[in-house]
Structure 1
Amino acid sequence: MKPSNLSGLLVLLAAMTLAACGGTEEAVASKPVPVNFQSGDECHVCGMVISGFPGPKGEAITEKEHQVHKFCSTKDMFAWVLQPENINREHTLYVHDMAQSEWTEPDDTDLIDARDAFYVAGSNRMGAMGPTLASFASRDSAEAFASEYGGNVLKFSEVTLGHLNSPMPASDSGELLMESMDHSRMDSMHTEQ
């Protein structure tokens, strides 16, 4: 084989190798899309049925197996994420952007990357299990929510187990949760009939 043909063949092989590697890197770099919440889905932490409860929900898609773990609240999602066996893993995490979604029935088209979100801890708005962390795509939306409902704005990396164990704010928020649950039960009863 002539030297010019050999170098042409080597250039072609190098280009094919780079193209093959580039495709692999793209596949690895892309993250899984969020999975909609379905009627009957149960919380991975507490086992409660997720639908019918107010406030933002969360989900984790495991990095290796791509298993989807759904959570009835952002609080339960963080309780799972902050466990020693999960804290350093790069799971794909999603939460509802509550600036775009109704508090009583979050819309799955409003799921955002949980690591990029801002959270309000300590507000008087209740989620599925009582106090929860309200999630937002922008700091401005989180601050507006905190001005109206109380609480502190945090980035994902600032949320600790202490924020999850904080006591219920002093207000009639327990009544708000019960009222929201009653409306959800009434809606489901009408649907079943």
Structure 2
Amino acid sequence: MKMKISILFSMIFLFTTITAIPVFAGDLLRCVRCGMIVSKNPTWEGRMQKPDEEPIVFCAPKCLLLTSPADKDHDEAQLQLKDYYSTNFVDATQAWYVGGSDVMGPMGPDLIPFADKKSAEEFMAEHHGKTLYRYSELTLARLKEILPMKHHKKHKEKALDGSERCARCGMIIAKHPKWEGRMHKKGEERVLFCAPRCLLMTNPADQDSSGTKLKLRDYYSTNLIDARAAWFVAGSDVMGPMGPDLIPFADKKSAKEFMDEHHGKALYRYSELTLERLKEILPMKHNKKKHHEKQ
């Protein structure tokens, strides 16, 4: 009898070991624009890669293209989307796009990318596509005409559930809640960040983010404040979740008190925090910690 019980427990252990499915950080990476989990629709994934930085992921062509339209300065960023047929990554700036087809993306109507014109035209004929575009034609104004914005209202999440990850680096937000940052565009889902540096590197002062609300938590009160109106202390002895960071405050007095106490080196307003300045202030090596799976 004891032997039977032992065998039974061994079989149960073996079964649970074999069937256990590991959950990688990459499986929970969310689109930096709308917050959708990218791995739910992997064939639609888009990526933006800036020199010496982690890749930023998107759930669909429309999210990448609306973030990086043809008339925007991409600051040497490489843009990649998956060819609809092969699902291989292709250079988004060299791709052919079919608009108005009967194929829906994760966020509704979308521009369907192809590596070559022939494949795009075959798809158009089969799926009733209306127009063929090159990336150079896809300005922000044109994209807003082509792609209905209402689809971005889906997937809105009311509260953190403990598994939310930083849209830039993949760190779990709930591990360091007082460092949380938020980006919210009208009619779209909020996007979350684990630290000021991740929000600021995604939304530097010299990037057009009109119509977007940026919020960070005041270091002392931990209340969410307008990041554009905040005062930031650099070079202090206080480390954020990702290492050295810019510490935000709602008022100048609190920022100066913090500087004196924690040996801060400089005080900045948001308007001074261009991408170039941020790269000087914040060592990039901290953004290379492996919080998500690379594939």
TM over 0.5: yes
The answer (yes or no) to whether the contact 1:121–1:132 under 8 Å persists in 2 is: yes
Distance in 1 (alpha carbons) for counterparts of 2:160 and 2:261: 28
* 2:197 alignment counterpart: 75
Partner of residue 281 from structure 2, selected from 166, 170, 175: 166
Q: Percent identity?
A: 31
* 3-state secondary structure, aligned to 2:259: helix
Q: Does 1:157 align with 2:268?
A: no
- Bigger helix fraction: 1
Question: What's the offset of the Cα at 1:121?
Answer: 1.6
Cα distance in 2 between the residues matched to 1:99 and 1:50: 18
Paired amino acid for 1:95: L
Alignment correspondent of 2:225: 112
Q: For residues 45 and 92 of structure 1, do their structure 2 counterparts lie closer, same or farther at Cα, with a shift above 3 Å needed?
A: same
Q: Distance in 1 between matches of 2:173 and 2:202?
A: 16
Change (3 A) 1:137 1:76: same
Per the alignment, residue 165 of structure 2 pairs with 42
Q: CA RMSD in A?
A: 2.5
Asked if the contact 1:55/1:127 (under 8 Å) is kept, the reply is no
Is the Cα–Cα contact under 8 Å of residues 54 and 127 in structure 1 kept in the other structure? no
CA distance in 2, matches of 1:83, 1:153: 15
How has the CA–CA distance of structure 1 residues 44 and 167 changed in structure 2, closer, same or farther, with 3 Å as cutoff? closer
State TM-score, norm by structure 1: 0.57
2:212 pairs, out of 91, 94, 112, with 91
Residue of structure 2 equivalent to 1:121: 234
Superposed displacement of residue 160, structure 1: 2.6
- Name the TM-score, length of structure 2 as normaliser: 0.38
| Structure 1: gaps (5+ residues) | 1-34, 102-109, 169-193
Change (3 A) 1:97 1:36: farther
Distance verdict in 2 for CA 1:167–1:135, change over 3 Å? closer
Residue 59 of structure 1: aligned partner? 182
With over 3 angstroms needed to count, the CA separation of the structure-2 counterparts of 1:53 and 1:164, relative to structure 1, is farther
| Cα distance in 1, alignment partners of residues 204 and 159 from structure 2 | 23
Equivalent residue, structure 2, for 1:171? none
Instruction: Tell me how far 1:36 sits from its aligned partner.
Output: 5.3
Residue correspondence of structure 1 range 19-34 to structure 2 within 5 A? none
